[in-house]
Copies of this chain bind each other. A is one copy, B any other.
Amino acid sequence: MKKHILVVPGDGIGAEVTAVGKQVLEVIAQKFGHEFSYDEALIGHVAIEATGSPLPAETLAKMKEADAILFGAVGHPKYDNDPSAKVRPEQGLLQMRKELGLYANLRPIKLFDELLDASSIKPEILRGADILFFRELTGDVYFGKRERIDEGNTAYDTMIYSKYEVERIVRKAFEAARTRSKKLCSVDKANVLESSRLWREVVQSLAPEYPDVTVEHQFVDAMAMLLIKDPKRYDVVVTGNLFGDILTDEASQIAGSMGMLASASVGDSTGVYEPIHGSAHDITGKGVANPLASVLCVALLLDISFGLKAEAQTVIDAVDAILKAGFRTRDIANSTTPADKILGTDAMGEQILQRLNA
């Protein structure tokens, strides 16, 4: 198979982890006889520094041409502490999602058995948990009108959804539920929000088309509690952009660490594969970031964008194997991990590559 992949490292630890992801892609190509070509592009803070724009036209053009995009992270503390900044790294990420029509963000939350002890949640609560989140990604308060009014003394954002936007993501979730345990949980705040009532209406109107799927509705506040109280109760979960942002970060504790979670953003064109961990400037450049989320992004990319299921499984098996062999990055180590098994980003990448080459 011949494919062109764009690597977009972005900010912070993005460069460190996507470097490992790219090496994994290359080994898979060799092993399975595929021909992958690569290019790189800038986004976020590094793009602002180089070009003034968080999503340069050149990057967007390259994205539209690629068969898939391996993404790092965006964000920089400089802007976080300057509420008045007009140009921000995150604008690049949001514009990309919108321009590429990436309305469905899939976040699989599954614990590798070996990491049962890495979480703050009790192992008996976690064992067997396996949740697939569908987070809507191009609507909601992320893209509604926002403004300062009243001489700067008041600010508002608009939480907005149209039926067609809800329908297309909810359909994807229903279809995924069909291939899994036929349970769908939709999360909203319909007891207060009109946009949530529209969301719930759409879910209710589609349910009869999927009679084999059992639908449950939860309010986002209750869900934030239930998710960690009894994660096994959930299988496919679908929710809006903001609630999905919050709940999936929370759910990272179910998988032991944020450093283990990959996501796929798909929709109208090129798929984007992005760890959920973000730019993590506190550990940038220290060589300790967990590259496994980026490696698992590669598995999602191979599976979803290229339909290469065996290749994807090979990557997942390699991750499983090195965890079984006891290797850990700092974020998934615990007090019983022997010091010589705690690896940095590159050494962990090395282990994965060796395993894939074996």
8 CB < 8 A contacts A-B: A83-B201, A141-B193, A150-B162, A155-B161, A156-B161, A225-B252, A228-B250, A243-B246
User: Which residues in B have their C-beta under 8 angstroms from that of A57?
Assistant: none
Task: Known A90-B192, A191-B79, A221-B249; judge A158-B158 contact (CB<8 A).
Answer: yes
User: Which residues in B have their C-beta under 8 angstroms from that of A230?
Assistant: 120
Q: How far is the CA of A198 from the CA of B162 in the complex (A)?
A: 27
Q: How far is the CA of A159 from the CA of B142 in the complex (A)?
A: 11
Of B79, B153, B191, B197, which one neighbours A155 at CB under 8 angstroms? B197
**Are A156 and B159 in touch, CB under 8 angstroms?**
yes
In the complex, chain A residues 105-142 whose Cβ is within 8 Å of any chain B Cβ: 120-122, 125, 141-142
User: Does A212 lie at the interface of the complex (its beta carbon under 8 Å from any beta carbon of B)?
Assistant: no
User: Which residues in B have their C-beta under 8 angstroms from that of A79?
Assistant: 191
Q: Contact residues of A with B, CB < 8 Å?
A: 75, 79-81, 83-84, 88, 90, 94, 120-122, 125, 141-142, 144, 146-148, 150, 153-164, 189-195, 197-198, 200-201, 204, 217, 219-222, 224-225, 228-230, 242-243, 245-250, 252-253, 258, 278
User: Which residues in B have their C-beta under 8 angstroms from that of A246?
Assistant: 220-221, 224, 243, 246
User: Which residues in B have their C-beta under 8 angstroms from that of A153?
Assistant: 162-164
Q: How far is the CA of A341 from the CA of B284 in the complex (A)?
A: 52
**Are B198 and A222 in touch, CB under 8 angstroms?**
no
In the assembled complex, the CB of A253 is this many whole angstroms from the nearest CB of chain B, namely: 5
User: Which residues in B have their C-beta under 8 angstroms from that of A81?
Assistant: 204, 217
Task: Known A156-B194, A156-B195; judge A83-B200 contact (CB<8 A).
Answer: yes
Which residue on chain B has the smallest CB distance to residue A150? B162
Query: Considering the complex of A and B, which 10 residue pairs feature the smallest CB-CB distances, nearest first?
Result: A83-B197, A224-B250, A155-B198, A156-B160, A221-B249, A146-B194, A155-B194, A154-B162, A120-B125, A157-B159
**Are B228 and A249 in touch, CB under 8 angstroms?**
no
Which residue on chain B has the smallest CB distance to residue A229? B120
In the assembled complex, the CB of A74 is this many whole angstroms from the nearest CB of chain B, namely: 9
User: Which residues in B have their C-beta under 8 angstroms from that of A221?
Assistant: 245-246, 248-249
Residue among A90, A121, A194, A219 with the most chain B CB within 10 A?
Answer: A194
Q: How far is the CA of A148 from the CA of B199 in the complex (A)?
A: 12
User: Can you add 4 more A-B contacts, CB < 8 Å, to A88-B191, A157-B160, A159-B159?
Assistant: A120-B229, A141-B159, A157-B158, A243-B246
**Are A148 and B191 in touch, CB under 8 angstroms?**
no
**Are B191 and A75 in touch, CB under 8 angstroms?**
yes
Q: How far is the CA of A249 from the CA of B150 in the complex (A)?
A: 33
User: Which residues in B have their C-beta under 8 angstroms from that of A193?
Assistant: 141, 146, 157
